[in-house]
Amino acid sequence: MADYDAIVIGSGAGGGTAAWALSRAGKRVLLLERGKTFDDPEAKQDEAEMLIRMRPYEDRDIWMNEKRRCLYVGGVTGGGTSLYGAVLLRPSPEDFHPGKWYDRYMSREQWDWPISYDSLEPFYEQAENLYHVAGSTADPMPHIGKRSKSYPQKPEELVPISKRIASGIRKSGLQPFRLPLAVDRAKCLRCPSCPGYMCPTDARASSLNRCVEPAVRDHGLDVWTACEATHLLTNSNTQTDRTVTSVRVERDDSTVEVSADKVFVAAGAIGTPVLLQRSGLGLESGQLGRNYMYHDGALGAGVFYHPTGAADIFAKQIGFTDLYFGTDEFPFKLGYAQALPIPGPLSLKDNLPLPIPDSLARWMHARIVTLAGAVEDLPQSDNRVQLRNDGGIDIRHRFHPFDTFRSKFFKAVLTKVMLASGAQLAFGATAEADETHTAHQVGTARFGKDPEIAVLDPNCRIFGTDNCYVVDGSFMPTSLGVGPALTIIANALRVSDHILREGFCNAPWLLLESPGHWVRPWVVNISGVVGMW
């Protein structure tokens, strides 16, 4: 008998959610997390500790484009969700058919995802409920998927600077909406800094506080932190029909092997291909580690004459999606735009090309407001994650010229919006020169129907194995026009749903009509249905 029914490797959006779903369904689950749980309360809102010294971020030996880098990638329990901005937007149904927009840049077999938006839609709703999203279905959200029911929470009222930016968006002929945020309004302290910082009250929903901790408390989930899964061990050396029997783990200066009936890999778009490469799995298509993507961000910043208040209170409230599919004048796919918290004085000084005194940094901090736009990073085979001979990680990444072309247009739009909002000065930037802020990283183990061009099947099982799945952002064949967090969470619920439907369980189940609805005596299932038989 195996030690566990399932082992989940990685506690971020995909892994933490899958561990919760499986353990809640009665499984014996072990969650392995390379990072530690961040437990220094004084450092959680300290700019120097969070953004300059980068204490909660990735600490592996990573080389980006032949330069050793420390990336802004979550390296603590909860992964990226412990540090993200909590905007959980649905993508457009058209995002699942990228060939409509990128036919010149993709082969024909890549024009469609192997699943549709409709197949994920019920899991988007479950994910929004699970992460307790605050939003408004009455707000206009052109082009992207919308929730049919009310959100679990109503959004906060707009602060004055958000109202001003919303007015500028309207003056620019666009439609602002309140961002759907996975933030518990009752706990939130309205900190002006949010993304990149640890939440001091756990108001911001993470896989740690919404999934892992409840599963430990209520459903017997076992969690090992500060340990690293180094190899997946199989029952065969052949390239097909292998069963992953156990995971080799480095823990407390020793190496142990732990077995399970199912293994779920969720180590992120960097960690997952590295683990699979080291284990000799997922290599058949030649695509493992390739197509590493993160959004080519565009930034528009406005400097106002008077302090805006955004340096003192949470002002990440407004977004728009009118340009998601371009315009008549610019008929190329773009993505969403959103307000961002203001970088702190230390970050301003760290990112400016010339040194400035502290007093000027504080003056700017009080007066700058920013908008950011997301442009899809096209999948390119040469953008890849590989193991180095010395055991380090080598990443090669360059944005496609078409990405850069679109992000420059988006930058110009965002700066015009800032001027329409009353800024005295507006300037912008794009992401192609930044090799550390790898926001929204996905790809590297894409799913598909054809094992010759994909690493995973449509249910995210690794081709060539019968019991090993990937449930982080690695599965995505394209990067969408919104942040990937909600899609990763929803897909982890979908894959868990599929596994349970296959009969992976410890006790009899009654399968109801809608996805995810199983009940057994005294058990609450993934969707929250309670029942007896």
Amino acid at 92: S
Confidence at residue 504, expressed as pLDDT on a 0 to 100 scale = 67
Confidence at residue 237, expressed as pLDDT on a 0 to 100 scale = 60
Q: In this prediction, what percent of the chain has a pLDDT beyond 70?
A: 94
Q: Compare 508 and 434 and report the one with higher pLDDT.
A: 434
The candidate with the shortest Cα–Cα distance to 423, out of 176, 218, 212, 168, is 168
Alpha-carbon span 431 to 296, nearest angstrom: 5
Q: Compare 516 and 364 and report the one with higher pLDDT.
A: 364
**Averaged pLDDT, 428-451:** 92
Confidence at residue 238, expressed as pLDDT on a 0 to 100 scale = 61
Query: Tens digit of pLDDT for each residue in 85-103?
Result: 999 999 999 999 999 999 9
- Using the predicted structure, report yes or no on whether residue 518 has a pLDDT greater than 50: no
Name the one residue in this structure whose structure tokens are 């009665």. 26
Helical (H) or strand (E) element with 251: strand 244-251
**Averaged pLDDT, 15-26:** 98
Mean pLDDT score across all residues of the chain: 91
- Using the predicted structure, report yes or no on whether residue 532 has a pLDDT greater than 90: no
Q: In this prediction, what percent of the chain has a pLDDT beyond 90?
A: 81
Q: Compare 238 and 170 and report the one with higher pLDDT.
A: 170
Work out the pLDDT band at 506, boundaries 50, 70, 90: very low
- In order of 35, 174, 190, 389, 416, the CA distances from 170 in angstroms are 43, 5, 25, 54, 12
- Using the predicted structure, report yes or no on whether residue 271 has a pLDDT greater than 90: yes
- Using the predicted structure, report yes or no on whether residue 138 has a pLDDT greater than 90: yes
β-pairing, 425-430 vs 298-303, is: antiparallel
499 SS3 class:
helix
**Averaged pLDDT, 463-471:** 97
Q: Three-state SS string across 97-149, please?
A: CCHHHHCCCCCHHHCCCCCCHHHHHHHHHHHHHHCCCECCCCCCCCCCCCCCC
What is this structure's pTM? 0.94
Query: Tens digit of pLDDT for each residue in 341-369?
Result: 887 899 888 877 788 898 998 999 999 99
Confidence at residue 239, expressed as pLDDT on a 0 to 100 scale = 60
Confidence at residue 341, expressed as pLDDT on a 0 to 100 scale = 85
Work out the pLDDT band at 525, boundaries 50, 70, 90: very low
* Residue 45 burial (CB count, 10 A): 17
The candidate with the shortest Cα–Cα distance to 25, out of 521, 505, 508, is 505
Name the one residue in this structure whose structure tokens are 């024909």. 108
Query: Tens digit of pLDDT for each residue in 51-85?
Result: 999 999 988 889 999 888 888 899 999 999 999 99
Q: Which residues touch 8 (CB under 8 Å, ≥6 apart)?
A: 15, 18, 19, 22, 29, 30, 31, 32, 264, 266, 471
**Averaged pLDDT, 168-186:** 97
User: 16-25, 38-47, 378-387, 513-522 — which is least confidently predicted?
Assistant: 513-522
- Using the predicted structure, report yes or no on whether residue 466 has a pLDDT greater than 60: yes
The candidate with the shortest Cα–Cα distance to 131, out of 90, 93, 162, is 90
Helical (H) or strand (E) element with 62: strand 62-64
